[in-house]
């Protein structure tokens, strides 16, 4: 080999040692918060496993929730969260409102609060049906964003347990 060939080979080795494979995106940026919320809401659509019972509540609560939905629709997530918080002051143990707050918190990337609210919603709510599935889909989405496979697995099992076949009526 000539000196030029040895020099070129040495340069290739040095340059190859300096290169790095591209880093994977941060775990929290792999899925957008909007896509996470869409998956959470899809988990409760068309659930026919139980009869859905909606309690009567203060019309002010519905007003705050309608306002929060409108704010969410135009991307005013912080304003939406404020309205949901006001609804919760009037109806603090409403699992559906806690779940809605968890979804808004995901849009704000406040994953620890969203996880806590989804779990609290499950604790207060029905253990079957669409809301239950949304609770566990929330936990699942957050765990996937952190690449926490143990929690992903347990959340999948819990979510699937929310869907029970309804009674056969003749």
Q: How confident is the model over 8-66, as pLDDT tens digits? A: 555 555 555 555 444 444 544 568 999 999 999 999 886 766 656 666 788 999 999 99
**82 lies in a domain?**
yes
The CATH number of residue 108's host domain is 1.25.40.10
Domain count, the chain: 1
Q: What angle do the packed helices 111-124 and 95-107 form, to 10 degrees? A: 170
Q: Residues 6 or more apart from 134 whose CB is under 8 A from it?
A: 40, 41, 43, 44, 99, 118
Domain residues for the domain of 82 are 28-161
> Which phi and psi (to 5°) does residue 54 adopt?
-115, 115
pTM: 0.79
**97 lies in a domain?**
yes
**168 lies in a domain?**
no
- Cα 98 to Cα 3: distance, rounded to the nearest angstrom: 72
Specify the residue for token string 């690449």. 147
**22 lies in a domain?**
no
Report the half-sphere exposure of 73 (CA within 13 A, side-chain side): 6
């Amino acid at each position: 080999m000539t000196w030029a060939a040895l020099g070129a080979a040495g340069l290739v080795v040095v340059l190859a040692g300096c290169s790095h494979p591209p880093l994977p995106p941060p775990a929290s940026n792999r899925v957008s918060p909007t896509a996470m919320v869409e998956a959470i809401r899809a988990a409760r659509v068309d659930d026919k496993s139980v009869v859905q019972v909606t309690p009567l509540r203060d019309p002010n609560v519905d007003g705050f929730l309608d306002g929060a939905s409108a704010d969410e629709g135009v991307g005013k997530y912080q304003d939406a969260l404020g309205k949901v918080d006001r609804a919760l002051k009037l109806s603090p143990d409403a699992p559906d409102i806690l779940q809605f707050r968890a979804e808004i918190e995901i849009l704000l990337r406040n994953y620890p609060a969203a996880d806590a609210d989804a779990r609290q919603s499950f604790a207060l709510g029905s253990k079957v049906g669409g809301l239950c599935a949304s609770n566990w889909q929330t936990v699942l989405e957050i765990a996937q964003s952190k690449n926490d496979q143990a929690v992903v697995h347990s959340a999948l099992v819990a979510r699937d347990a929310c869907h029970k076949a309804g009674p056969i009526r003749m």
